[in-house]
C-alpha cells in the first residue's frame, strides 16, 4: 500500500511543470529502502543497478533513513546531497552522500538511482566527485 501511495505522489510531482527533484530523490530513496527491508529484489533492482556502488553499500551497511537536503538537474544529470542514517548495532551514524538519478524505463518511478558517492566531510564540503 505504501508503494502505491508513493507512486501516486510521484505521479503528482511529475505532472507539475517544474519537477521537484528533492521530493523525487526522497521518494526514490524510500522505495529503495522499503524494497531492501522487505527483500523485494525485483523492485530493488528496478530502482538501483545490480552490483554497482549503491547495491554494494546497501549490502554491507544498515541504512535506515535518507534525508535529501538539496537536489537539482543539469546537463550532467540529476544529483542530490543527502544524509544517510546508518546503524552499526545500536550505534547510529550520519553519513553524507551525493546521489544521482538517471531515466529508466524498467523502474516504476521512471528513474534509477544510478550512482552514489559517500563523502568524507560533513555536508561533502570541498568534495566534487566526477560523474
Q: How many CB atoms lie within 10 A of CB 82?
A: 23
Q: CB count, 10 Å around CB of 41?
A: 11
To 10 degrees, what angle do helices 21-37 and 53-60 make? Answer: 50
What is the torsional sign of CA 40, 45, 47, 53? positive
- Asked if 113 and 48 touch (Cβ cutoff 8 Å), the reply is yes
List the pLDDT tens digit at each of the 131 positions of the chain: 555 544 545 554 444 446 899 999 999 999 999 999 999 999 999 999 999 999 999 999 999 999 999 999 988 789 999 999 999 999 999 999 999 999 999 998 999 999 999 999 999 998 888 65
Asked whether the beta carbons of 98 and 75 are under 8 A apart, the reply is: no
Domain 2-124 indexed as CATH 3.30.479.30: no
Cα 85 to Cα 62, 72, 101, 105, distances in angstroms:
8, 22, 20, 29
Distance of alpha carbon 28 from alpha carbon 37, whole angstroms: 14
Contact yes or no for 98/119 (Cβ under 8 A): yes
pTM of this prediction? 0.83
pLDDT score recorded for residue 77? 82
Amino acid at each position: 500500500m505504501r508503494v502505491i501511495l508513493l507512486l501516486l505522489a510521484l505521479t503528482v510531482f511529475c505532472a507539475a511543470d517544474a519537477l521537484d527533484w528533492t521530493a523525487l530523490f526522497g521518494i526514490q530513496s524510500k522505495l529503495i529502502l522499503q524494497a531492501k527491508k522487505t527483500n523485494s529484489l525485483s523492485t530493488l533492482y528496478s530502482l538501483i543497478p545490480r552490483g554497482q556502488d549503491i547495491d554494494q553499500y546497501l549490502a554491507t551497511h544498515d541504512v535506515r533513513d535518507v534525508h535529501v537536503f538539496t537536489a537539482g538537474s543539469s546537463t550532467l544529470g540529476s544529483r542530490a546531497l543527502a544524509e544517510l542514517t546508518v546503524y552499526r548495532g545500536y550505534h547510529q551514524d550520519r553519513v553524507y552522500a551525493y546521489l544521482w538519478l538517471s531515466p529508466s524505463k524498467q523502474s516504476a518511478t521512471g528513474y534509477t538511482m544510478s550512482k552514489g558517492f559517500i563523502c568524507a566531510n560533513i555536508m561533502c564540503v570541498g568534495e566534487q566527485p566526477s560523474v
